[in-house]
């Protein structure tokens, strides 16, 4: 497959095979905007995690990385999605919380039903895409690559870290 067969994802900027075959429609998400090929790659990664419990440990980190790397446009759903996913990344990477604790905190964050403000996405949403963990061959490598991807996405949002810190101040025990 040559580069001419690849399409740049308008979310993460990665290059993905054109999907689906000509004349058919590809499923995508209503507010986590991506190219069909990128969305398909994400689906393959999720399938790996759901099919083998050894890969599932970092599933929520996978979801956070993808959602924050594909923020979409300013709609209430997209604002809340970015706010929630960046909040978990903060708890993991800045506060050093274990995944289980950060996952439990997300229940408190989502229960508040807050309206997050729109954060203008950075021009570059991370140097690593969903293709990085998709290339892993073992559960350990998968977890390592998902974390590298998620850290890349978190770092890309650096200009908005103060806002995310403010949102997370209200979480008990933070």
pLDDT tens digits, one per residue of 128-155: 999 999 999 999 999 999 999 999 999 9
pTM here? Answer: 0.90
Q: Between these two residues, 68 and 110, which has the higher pLDDT value?
A: 68
Which helix (H) or strand (E) segment holds residue 7: the answer is: strand 6-8
**Cβ neighbourhood burial of 130 (10 Å; 0-12, 13-18, 19+):** buried
Q: Are the beta carbons of 85 and 150 closer than 8 angstroms?
A: no
Any domain includes 109: yes
ω into residue 66 within 30 of 0, thus cis?
no
pLDDT, the chain, mean: 88
Q: Would 50 be classed as within a structural domain? A: yes
Supply the pLDDT for residue 105: 87
Q: In the 8-state DSSP scheme, what is residue 96?
A: -
Domains held by the chain: number: 1
d(CA 68, CA 19): 22
Residue 55 lies in a domain: yes
**Smallest Cα–Cα separation from 14: which of 36, 32, 47?**
36
Residue 131: which domain range? 3-168
Only one residue has tokens 């506060």, namely: 95
Residue 29, in any domain of the structure = yes
For residue 15, tell me if it sits in a domain.
yes
pLDDT at residue number 25: 55
**pLDDT score at 31:** 72
77: Cβ–Cβ under 8 A, 6 or more apart, which residues?
30, 31
| Residue ranges in the chain assigned as alpha helix (H) | 36-51, 53-56, 59-69, 76-93, 99-111, 131-134, 139-156, 161-168
Task: Record the tokens describing residue 75, joined without a space.
Answer: 């709609």
| pLDDT cut 90: percent of the chain above it | 66
Measured CA to CA, the distance from residue 24 to residue 15 in angstroms comes to 20
Q: What is the pLDDT of residues 94-122, one digit of tens each?
A: 999 998 899 888 887 787 767 899 999 99
Give residue 4's pLDDT band: very low, low, confident or very high (50, 70, 90): low
- The model's pLDDT over 15-35, given as tens digits with 9 standing for 90+, comes to 988 755 555 556 677 778 888
- Whether residue 97 is contained in a domain is answered as yes
């Amino acid at each position: 497959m040559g580069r001419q067969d690849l399409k740049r994802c308008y979310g993460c900027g990665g290059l993905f095979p054109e999907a689906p075959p000509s004349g058919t429609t590809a499923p995508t998400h209503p507010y986590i905007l991506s190219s069909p090929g990128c969305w398909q790659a994400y689906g393959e990664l999720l399938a790996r995690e759901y099919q083998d419990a050894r890969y599932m440990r970092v599933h929520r980190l996978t979801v956070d990385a993808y959602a924050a790397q594909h923020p979409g446009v300013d709609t209430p759903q997209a604002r809340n999605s970015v706010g929630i996913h960046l909040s978990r990344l903060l708890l993991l990477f800045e506060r050093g919380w274990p995944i289980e604790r950060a996952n439990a905190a997300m229940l408190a964050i989502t229960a508040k039903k807050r309206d997050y403000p729109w954060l203008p996405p950075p021009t570059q949403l991370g140097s690593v895409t969903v293709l990085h963990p998709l290339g892993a061959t073992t559960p350990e490598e998968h977890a390592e690559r998902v974390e590298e991807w998620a850290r890349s996405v978190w770092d890309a949002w650096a200009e908005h870290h103060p806002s995310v810190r403010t949102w997370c101040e209200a979480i008990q025990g933070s």
